[in-house]
Structure 1
Amino acid sequence: MAQNLHSALVDLLRDIYFAEKHLTKAIPKMAKAAENEELTAAFQGHVEETRGQVEHLEKVFGLLDLKPRAKTCEAIKGLIEEGEEIIEENEAGCVRDALLIAAAQKVEHYEIATYGTMCQWADVLGLTDVKKLLGEVLDQEESTDKKLTKLAKAINREAAIA
């Protein structure tokens, strides 16, 4: 239970740390399931970026004089499960690719909301270095979301006529 804004920040940090670590395992499954080569490459690139984000979060824990520790994130567990269901229940092709993008963007939007909130809280708390690191990750998440939107435009048109 958060007793103040600082403890709320730490709680959210542990939540997103869990999320990022689990996404390093889930994203490769999505890359393997994607048929579109650009989508596969985007997922593969995001795996490496996500590993870097885990490192950023570990630095944030260090700045807060804490050991990195995850807190189970039920939201991300549900979103990962949804992605796995898409893979299991849909044949390979442009429709499944469109569904994979939708699932990935749900994850990105969750991450954008979380990092945006943590940046704001770090700013209010005067944690300039923490805000900087979290802001770098937020920028990456927003960039990934834009890339997925761009890919979706072409894949969705293809799926509409499939």
Structure 2
Amino acid sequence: MSFAANLTKIVAGKKSELADREKIAESWRDKEAKLLDDAVDLFKQRCVKEAEQQKMEATISFEVITRDITDFPKRILTDSTYFVDTWPSGTSAESWFYATRGANSSWSQGAPILFAEVLQAMLPKFVDRVKELGFLECNHEAGTWKVAVVWEEPEKSERAPEKNKKRRRD
């Protein structure tokens, strides 16, 4: 085999390796989309509770919400640092790594993943989804996992017809 033919073979092998890594990454992207859907549903439920208390705003921690998602990666505390302990079925640290860092990155088998890195990678996507819900304001509070939203106050005219109906009856 000529040297040039060997180079062609190396390129083909690397392309195949990258395609395999992309396939591995896709398993995390699919799971992440479902996890984000679940997180938005829980966020909406918490906003409803705030609205039922006649509030027009809510500040909710993304990290706290993730605790209530059954299939979310589980964390473990080791030497004052949280690492991912278990991954959802069909995913792995490797799939998360390639999905967030790219298929060209080098993955070291067994390398621990910081739980905060998983949250940090998902947080902007979560905030984008929350923004699509039509709030007047939606902001991520810098340096926290918290997302603050504000919705519109009921118009005074919405309450006025009830008063007018009572007056008409009198």
* Pair in the same fold by TM > 0.5: no
Q: Which has the higher strand share?
A: 2
**Higher helix residue share:** 1
TM-score, normalised on structure 2? Answer: 0.30
Q: Which structure would you say has the larger RCO, counting Cα contacts within 8 Å and 6 or more residues apart?
A: 1
State the structure with more CA Rg: 2
TM-score, normalising length: structure 1:
0.31
